[in-house]
């Protein structure tokens, strides 16, 4: 799966910001039709996004579009407008039920077939941001083979559930871990909360570290100043890569010698340790750090 260490939201009606985002070397750009766009700019944003998908060179960045929620009656119109631009993925907000993902899949399938796009080429990423979405999470994860990742929408989740949002984000621990568990169970990526303060690098760094330790594979961001720090935080360090390669090499030799567990620099290595090492090497490869 492609790396999604940082996914940058860009208001869909702002061509200047879209053009800027395209040159940032960020893993993914989310062209937004939902909360980043005022109600009286939605129509304009649909046109700007279609044009950008067709004519702006995003380099190696993934081109994603966040549509409006289905209950607003705007989602279908959004998909009609932007799918002709063949985005790499559609981000579905308020993905509260499996039915919402199935409906998105159905509309994408129809557009792919009508336009001659390769079947299955447009992915889906689900924004998990309500109590109901957590109750339905396993069914949501299983709803479509297009689903590639889950994003935690912290602000909306707090609004929905009565959780008080704090900067330490302790109140989100259950939601963050529950999302990571489901992502792991269904082979999906897990994308962490937004740090809205884009001037305090230490705050961002600390939040990235916690997210990475909790098992997230990437994070949503809202400003160009957050790209580098976030992508670095979700990339294994050179030391971690070297250690992981050593563990995997040692495991091969141990297996050949008939040993399931072996010792490396005073620590036991067994299968789960090897699996973790394999994940680190896979992430380093996805980030282009090793061949
Ligand atoms: N994508 C691309 N470019 C962005 C950007 C973004 N999300 N946010 C800021 N920029 C650009 C600005 O246009 C400016 O470009 P310039 O130097 O070429 O003029 C530069 O980065 C510096 O921006 P700055 O002046 O610090 O911020 P701002 O006041 O222009 O914008 C926000 C601040 C918060 C309004 C803006 O970052 C933003 O719109 N973020 C996304 C919000 C969003 O989508 N929210 C919904 C999802 S949570
Ligand atoms: Mg929201």
* pLDDT at residue 84 in the model: 98
User: In this predicted model, what pLDDT tens digit does every residue of 262-279 receive, in sequence order?
Assistant: 999 999 999 999 999 999
pLDDT surpasses 80 at 1: no
Delimiting residues of CATH 3.20.20.60 domain(s) in the chain = 6-233
* pLDDT at residue 211 in the model: 98
* pLDDT at residue 291 in the model: 87
Query: 182: which residues sit within 8 A by CB, 6+ positions away?
Result: 137, 138, 141, 150, 188
Give distance in angstroms: CA of 184 to centre of ligand 1.
Answer: 32
pTM here is 0.95
| Alpha-carbon span 50 to 133, nearest angstrom | 29
**How high does pLDDT run on average in the chain?**
97
Q: What is the percent of the chain with per-residue pLDDT over 90, rounded to a whole number?
A: 96
| Alpha-carbon span 284 to 5, nearest angstrom | 12
- State the DSSP code for 164: P
Ligand 1 and 9: CB distance under 6 A = yes
Decide: residue 166, CB within 10 A, 0-12 exposed, 13-18 middle, 19+ buried: exposed
Long-range CB contacts for residues 202-211, cutoff 8 Å, separation at least 24 = 203/167, 204/229, 204/230, 205/229, 205/233, 207/169, 208/233, 208/234, 209/233, 210/169, 211/176
Positions annotated as catalytic residues are: 270
* pLDDT at residue 52 in the model: 98
User: In this predicted model, what pLDDT tens digit does every residue of 59-109 receive, in sequence order?
Assistant: 999 999 999 999 999 999 999 999 999 999 999 999 999 999 999 999 999
User: In this predicted model, what pLDDT tens digit does every residue of 105-159 receive, in sequence order?
Assistant: 999 999 999 999 999 999 999 999 999 999 999 999 999 999 999 999 999 999 9
Q: Scanning the structure block, which residue is given the tokens 């990571």? A: 180
pLDDT surpasses 80 at 222: yes
Give distance in angstroms: CA of 173 to centre of ligand 1.
Answer: 28
* pLDDT at residue 288 in the model: 86
Ligand 1 and 87: CB distance under 6 A = no
* pLDDT at residue 287 in the model: 85
DSSP E strand stretches across 36-195: 62-66, 89-92, 123-128, 147-152, 189-192
| Alpha-carbon span 155 to 162, nearest angstrom | 11
* pLDDT at residue 217 in the model: 96
Give distance in angstroms: CA of 227 to centre of ligand 1.
Answer: 12
Of all ligands present, the nearest one to the C-alpha of 9 is: 1
Q: What is the token pair recorded at 207?
A: 């939040």
User: In this predicted model, what pLDDT tens digit does every residue of 239-255 receive, in sequence order?
Assistant: 999 999 999 999 999 99
Mean pLDDT of 214-241: 97
Give the bridge partners for 219, in sequence order. 6, 192
| Alpha-carbon span 9 to 46, nearest angstrom | 15
Q: Which helix (H) or strand (E) holds 227?
A: helix 227-233
Give the bridge partners for 63, in sequence order. 29
* pLDDT at residue 120 in the model: 97
pLDDT surpasses 80 at 185: yes
Contact 91, 64 (CB under 8 A): yes
Of all ligands present, the nearest one to the C-alpha of 194 is: 1
Assigned CATH topology for domain 6-233: TIM Barrel (3.20.20)
Distances (CA, A) of 283 to 2, 41, 212, 232, 246: 9, 38, 12, 12, 16
* pLDDT at residue 286 in the model: 86
| Alpha-carbon span 191 to 5, nearest angstrom | 8
Ligand 1, residues 24, 27, 224, 230: which to mutate, most atoms within 8 A of Cβ? 224
């Amino acid at each position: 799966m492609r790396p999604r260490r940082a996914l940058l939201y860009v208001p869909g009606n702002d061509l200047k910001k879209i053009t800027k985002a395209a040159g940032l070397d960020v893993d993914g750009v989310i062209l937004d039709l939902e909360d980043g766009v005022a109600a009286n700019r939605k129509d304009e944003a649909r046109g700007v996004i279609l044009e950008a998908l067709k004519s702006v060179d995003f380099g190696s960045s993934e081109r994603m579009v966040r549509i409006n929620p289905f209950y607003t009656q705007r989602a279908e119109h959004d998909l009609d407008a932007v799918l002709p631009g063949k985005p790499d993925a559609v981000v579905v907000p308020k993905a509260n039920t499996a039915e919402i993902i199935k409906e998105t899949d159905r509309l994408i399938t129809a557009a792919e077939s009508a336009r001659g796009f390769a079947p299955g080429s447009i992915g889906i990423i689900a924004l998990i941001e309500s109590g109901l979405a957590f109750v339905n999470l396993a069914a949501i994860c299983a709803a479509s083979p297009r689903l590639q990742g889950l994003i935690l929408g912290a602000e909306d989740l707090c609004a929905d559930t009565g959780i008080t949002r704090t900067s330490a984000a302790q109140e989100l621990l259950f939601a963050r871990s529950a999302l990571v568990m489901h992502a792991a169970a269904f082979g999906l990526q897990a994308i962490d909360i937004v740090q809205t303060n884009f001037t305090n690098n230490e705050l961002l760094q600390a939040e990235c570290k916690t997210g990475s330790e909790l098992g997230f594979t990437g994070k949503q961001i809202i400003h160009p100043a957050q790209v580098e720090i976030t992508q670095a935080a979700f990339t294994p360090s050179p030391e971690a890569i070297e250690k992981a390669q050593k563990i995997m090499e040692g495991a091969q030799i141990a297996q050949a010698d008939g040993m399931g567990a072996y010792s490396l620099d005073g620590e036991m290595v067994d299968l789960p340790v090897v699996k973790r090492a394999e994940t680190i090497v896979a992430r380093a490869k996805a980030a282009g750090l090793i061949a």
